[in-house]
Amino acid sequence: MSAFDAFWHVTNLLAPAWGVSVLLALLMRLVWRGQRMDLRKMVVWGGLGGMLAIGLALVLLGRDGKMAGYALLLTGVSLPQWWLTRR
């Protein structure tokens, strides 16, 4: 595998974390219009939590693409965003 292929492999592995983070932040902003939320902060913390969850799923489950890994991804994205809306 070349360096270019490895780059795209890792990018595609982490893309769901950032995609779910952006979608969840936008939906939270639509649902709670009265609250003032920093969208960039929510996306960044959600994306980092999702990346951590994907890494943890790879360690625990041994491979990507299992349903438990996706559940861990959703938990990893939603917990930081929930924490940011609490304050």
Q: What's residue 66's pLDDT? A: 87
Sketch the domain layout of the chain as residue ranges: 3-86
Tens digit of each residue's pLDDT (9 = 90 or more) over 15-73: 999 999 999 999 988 888 777 778 899 999 999 999 999 999 999 998 888 899 999 99
Supply the pTM of this predicted model.
0.86
DSSP of 24-66? HHHHHHHH--SS---HHHHHHHHHHHHHHHHHHHHHHHSSS--
* Residue 4: pLDDT over 70: yes
Q: What's residue 87's pLDDT? A: 63
